[in-house]
Amino acid sequence: MKHKLTFPDGFWWGAASSGPQTEGWAGKKHENVMDTWYRTSRKDFFDGGGPDVASDFYHTYPEDFKLMKEIGMNSFRTSVQWTRLIKDLETGEADPEGVKFYKDMIAEAKKNGIELILNLHHFDMPTELLEKYGGWQSKHVVDLFEKFAKTAFEELGDDVRYWTTFNEPMVIPEAGWLYGFHYPKLVGQGKEAVEIIGNINLASAKAIKAYRDSKKNGEIGIILNLTPAYPESDSKEDAAAAKFADEFFNQSFLDPAIKGEFPKDLEELLRKDGVLWDLSEEDRKTIAENTVDFLGVNYYHPKRVRAPKNPDKYENWMPDRYFEEYEWKEGRINPYRGWEIFPKAIYDIAKNVQDNYGNIKWFISENGMGVEGEERFRKEDGSIEDDYRIDFYNEHLAHLHKAIEEGSNCFGFHAWTAMDCWSWNNAYKNRYGFIGVDLGDQSRKIKKSGRWLKEVSDENAILIEDELMPKF
C-alpha cells in the first residue's frame, strides 16, 4: 500500500551546498583554513581531491541553476565566502570581483525561479585570522566577522531575502579543537573550544543586529546540526550523560539563537569546572536582544550516549568526562559513512522545537546519504540509479510530515546536496548530489533522485510504501 503525504503550501523543496565546497579557488584573494589544509597536506584528502577546483561552481553556476530548475528545486542554500567577498579583512572593504560574482550568481538563480538562502560562514575562517589572532578564540575576529557581514548585507542584501549567520557552528570547536578531524586539527583543547562556542554565539548575534540595522527587507537565521542524544538505559547516570550531551552539543547554540540565553545548568557546570566562556554583560545583552527569525536544522544521525566508564582519563578539560558514545545494537548503519540511519530523530527534533522553542518557524536545511562508488549504479545513458537515496529521503520526510501534521512549524526540506561537491578530507569519496559531477570534465548528469525530486516538488507531496511510514 502506498501513502500520499502532502506538505504545506509554499513548502521549500531544494538543496544546500557552500562556497568553499563548490566554487574553486578562481578569483579569490585570500585562503581559508580548508584551502590551507589542502595546500599543505594533500595526503589528508581522499584521492588527493581538493577545493582548488571542486565542482567549479564559479564557472558552471548558470548551467547548475538550469539543472536545479529542471529537477524542481524552488530554493537553494549556499554561502558567501569571507575570503572571496572581502578585499581587506581588517576594514571589511569589499573586493569588486567577488561582489560581481555573487551578484551575477544571485541574478542567475532569480532567472530560474530559485529562492536563494545565503549563509555567511561554512567552516571557512580566513587563514590569516587564525594565524594572527587564533580565529574564533579572539573577540577581535568576532568584530571582523561583523564587518564582513555588514559588507555582505550592503552589497547583496537588496537581492537576497533569506540569510543565515553560521552553518553547523558546533563543528568548528568540535572538529578543530576537541577531536582533531578538521584544520587546525587540535585535540583535547576543551577550554579553548568552550571559548569558541561563546564567541561564535556573539558573532552570530552581532551579524543579526547588523542585518536588522541595515533595514533590508528579509529575514535572518542560523543553521544548526542537531544530533539528539538518546541514553543507553533509564538509569539516572545515563540520563545525566544524555542531558549533558544535548546541552553541550545542541543547546549551547540552539538556546542563544532562539531564547537569547545559554542553558543555565550547562553554564553552571562549565563555571564550576573553570572553563566557562568569557562574555561580558554587554556581550550577553547583544545575544539576548538579537535572536533569529527562523531556524535551519541539519540532521544526519543521532547520538547514542551513556555514562562514561573512565571520566578522569583526560589531562585537560573535555566534554567527554560527562558522557561517552556507543553503537546501538539495533541501529541501521550507512556503511560508507559509519552513521546510524534513524529517521525518527527528525520527528523528535521537530517536536522539541515545537514544544520547547516557541514553535519557531524552521526548515530541514540538510539531510542526505553519502554513498561511495556510485558508478556501479550507472545506467547506459550515464544516469545513476540511486534508489537507496530516494528511500532514505522518503523515510525521513514521512517522519517530518507526521510532526507537521501535529503542528510543527516546518516550512521546507533541503537535501545535501544539489550537485556532488567536495567534502573536506572526504573529498569526493561519498557522493550526495541529486546531480552527478564528472570530475574529469565537470560535466553534469541528473540522477534518478533528481527526477524523484521533480515529481515531489510538482506534487508538493511524497508517495511512499507502507513499510517506510512511521511506526510509533
Active-site annotation, residues: 168, 366
Report the DSSP beta bridge partners of residue 306.
Answer: 324
In the chain, the amino acid numbered 433 is: G
* CA distance readout (Å), 353 to 145, 357, 359, 380: 28, 5, 6, 45
Contact 293, 362 (CB under 8 A): no
Element (DSSP H or E) covering residue 129:
helix 127-133
In the chain, the amino acid numbered 374 is: E
Nine-digit cell string for 44: 589528508
Closest CA to 423 of 11, 20, 12: 20
Contact 432, 450 (CB under 8 A): no
Question: Distance (Å, rounded) from C-alpha 166 to C-alpha 149?
Answer: 11
Nine-digit cell string for 345: 530523530
Question: Distance (Å, rounded) from C-alpha 190 to C-alpha 209?
Answer: 29
Cα angle 25-300-313, degrees, rounded to a multiple of 5: 95
Closest CA to 153 of 229, 117, 207: 207
Beta-carbon contacts of 107 under 8 Å, excluding residues fewer than 6 positions away, are: 159
Within 351-404, strands assigned E span: 362-366, 371-372
Contact 325, 303 (CB under 8 A): yes
Cis preceding-peptide flag for 256 (omega within 30 of 0): no
Question: Distance (Å, rounded) from C-alpha 120 to C-alpha 123?
Answer: 10
